Amino acid sequence: MRRMFAFLAYMLLCSNAYSAQYRAALVADMDTGRVLYQENANELNYPASLTKIMTLYLTFDALEHGRLALNDYLIVSQAAANAEPVKLGLPAGSKIRVEDAIKAVAVYSANDVARVLAENLKGGQEESFADLMTRVAREIGLNNTNFENSSGLPNDDHMSTARDIALLSMAVYKHFPQYWHFFGIKSWTYNGKTYTNGNRLLTSYNGCDGMKTGYTKKSKYSLVATANRNNHRLMSIVLGAENKDVRANVAAQMLNRGFSMLSNGAQPVVKNTYVPPIQQAPQPVVKTEPQPVAQTYTQHSNSSTNTFAVAYNTATSSAMPKYTGSAISGSSQATGGGTGVQFAAFSSQASAQTQVANVKSKLGVNAVVEPTGTGLYRVRVYGLTDVTAGQLKSQASANGIDSYVFH
């Protein structure tokens, strides 16, 4: 006990050394959703290029539902070519493969390519894509986030919080583990030029495997960093750091804090020490008629347990009957339809098997565990129709189980 208190006292001193040099921070267990430490997590900040996590989330959703393929080519518009740096400098009328576009955004944070993705996913209009970003943000529980563009370039109405960025990052991890590796690429070569990832923890912090950096003059330096040790994957978020060194050091310090708290059984810590100049939550301005999206989400934060408890609903879930299909066999080759339901992803096979048992107990269906090839394990049920998948998803939501419909 004395050792644990000594550790916490040491960590408090370390955090105080930096706390005046950043605006917000958060550490969470990505497998359980438990928040271990948060400081000013609900205060509004400019997210800068952390915005691109949502741009990539919607890109992955398009890939999963067949609206894009990694080898498809995207056309660069004049507006995208004119984007402010950082950018690849692609000329108008040129083309870029979807896979290279993802790497350009995830590794180099290219603003022109983020706009290319946005325009190609939403009828050539980045403004319409930003409306979609905000709408999906609300659906996955980002209640204090408003997007005005796909890249995070300066806009007074473009803002978020550490908590919301955590929810978004976790949604990418849970829903699209097959694409998680893009966030851990240290460098990438395109057209003979090599681009280096700005997340220095990828090469300096043991177990770091993602995720995204951000910077503008107003936002200052921000970072989402993830690390996996002993089958525990943690996420640290730092917003508004004074410089790159503070950003990297605080993120590493927060990860160290989280891993030590897990091993010592320490209780979650909540601090509110900084009041940024932004006082009002943004009100999204949706300028186009809402269009159907492949998935809609409702994500709730349980502040009493410092846990992100995830529940998902379709827009018509309240009217959907309970899923009554027979239990699917444990084979990933189950037949019956080209649709399925994914019940999150995990860092270890053991955690995924626990979810299989949970799904069986609460929903009465047999799910399977699949390695994604990226070091993660997803839990899935195959062989459903669109209707039965929607019913099962609704039932999962009612039972507090993370779910995502795939094709």
Q: Which of the residues are catalytic?
A: 49, 52, 109
Largest CA distance in the chain: 65
3-state helix, strand, coil in the chain (%, to 5): 35, 25, 40
Query: Cα–Cα distance between 149 and 272 in angstroms, integer?
Result: 29
Residue type, 392: L
Place of tokens 């205060």: 43
Query: Cα–Cα distance between 8 and 39 in angstroms, integer?
Result: 15
How far are the Cα atoms of 126, 165, 359, 391 from residue 251, in angstroms, in the given order? 31, 14, 34, 40
Query: Cα–Cα distance between 151 and 114 in angstroms, integer?
Result: 6
Query: Cα–Cα distance between 152 and 138 in angstroms, integer?
Result: 18
Q: How many CB atoms lie within 10 A of CB 319?
A: 8
Query: Cα–Cα distance between 131 and 268 in angstroms, integer?
Result: 35
Q: What sign does the CA torsion over 309, 267, 209, 115 have?
A: positive
With 0-12 CB in 10 A as exposed, 13-18 as middle and 19+ as buried, what is 357?
A: exposed
CA-nearest of 355, 362, 375 to 33 is 355
Which residues does residue 74 pair with via DSSP β-bridges, in sequence order?
A: 96
Helix (H) or strand (E) holding 270: strand 269-271
Tell me the H-state helices in 140-243. Answer: 162-175, 201-204
Q: How many CB atoms lie within 10 A of CB 143?
A: 15
Alpha-carbon 49 to chain mean position: 13
Structure-block tokens of residue 16 = 């105080």
Query: Cα–Cα distance between 277 and 4 in angstroms, integer?
Result: 36
